[in-house]
Amino acid sequence: LSNIPVMGEIFFQQNILVYGAFALVPVSWFVLNKTPLGLSIRAVGQHPEAADSLGVNIVRIRYFTVVLGGMLSGIAGASLSIALLNVFQQNLTNGMGFIAVALVYFGAWRPTTVLSGALLFSTVNAIQIWVQVKGINIPSDFTLMLPYIVTIMVLAAMAKRRIHSPAALNKPFERGE
């Protein structure tokens, strides 16, 4: 199947972690929407006092999600430097973490729409690489800025829509407040 023109390379010649990342989208959707753990995670993010009144351990859930996010970020970084590029250097990601955070806002904290945003931004990144490889007469500094410019434009457009972040995002929890 990998010999199919264009599509074969796209779908059948990727690193195993790429397929794992795609598989994580429906798994995370299922966990967040259909399991008690997901309900607890969402409750802690939206209204920790209510979750606490139901006996949910707020600190444990928050630590679990932060550690899980850190592990997945570490796997992503390691795969970039070891599996995909076979090199490590300072600033290897060139600020792609900013785009990852922007994707969460773009996707309104829903895994399926975050995937849509990731595909959009990776397409823009592929276009900027293609423009450089083809030698199209556009300054390379501009093409390197393209993914970030699109990110800022999308976030500006999203600001007009009322996307509500979890109510307790970045707020410390203290029992009894």
Q: Report the predicted TM-score, pTM, of the whole model to 2 decimal places.
A: 0.80
What does the pLDDT read at residue 169? 87
What does the pLDDT read at residue 107? 85
* Closest to 62 (Cα-Cα) out of 32, 40, 31, 35: 40
CA distances from 33 to 22, 29, 61, 127, 139 (A): 18, 6, 16, 35, 45
CA distances from 132 to 30, 92, 101, 135, 150 (A): 40, 18, 26, 5, 17
Among the candidates 61, 78, 93, a domain finishes at 93
For residue 18, count CB atoms less than 10 angstroms from its CB and return exposed for 0-12, middle for 13-18, buried for 19 or more: middle
More confidently predicted of 2 and 117: 117
Whether residues 155 and 145 share a domain: the answer is yes
How do residues 66-80 score in pLDDT, each as one tens digit?
999 999 988 888 888
Whether residues 86 and 99 share a domain: the answer is no
Whether residues 4 and 88 share a domain: the answer is yes
* Secondary structure, 3-state, 17-70: HHHHHHHHHHHHHHHHHHCHHHHHHHHHHHCHHHHHHCCCCHHHHHHHHHHHHH
Q: Domain range holding 12?
A: 1-93
Q: DSSP assignment, residue 83?
A: I
Per-chain mean pLDDT for the chain: 87
Banded pLDDT at 43 (limits 50, 70, 90) = very high
**Structure-token pair, residue 31:** 């966990």
More confidently predicted of 5 and 45: 45
Banded pLDDT at 177 (limits 50, 70, 90) = low
Whether residues 88 and 112 share a domain: the answer is no
Whether residues 102 and 122 share a domain: the answer is yes
Cβ–Cβ < 8 Å for 105, 165: yes
Q: How many domains does the chain have?
A: 2
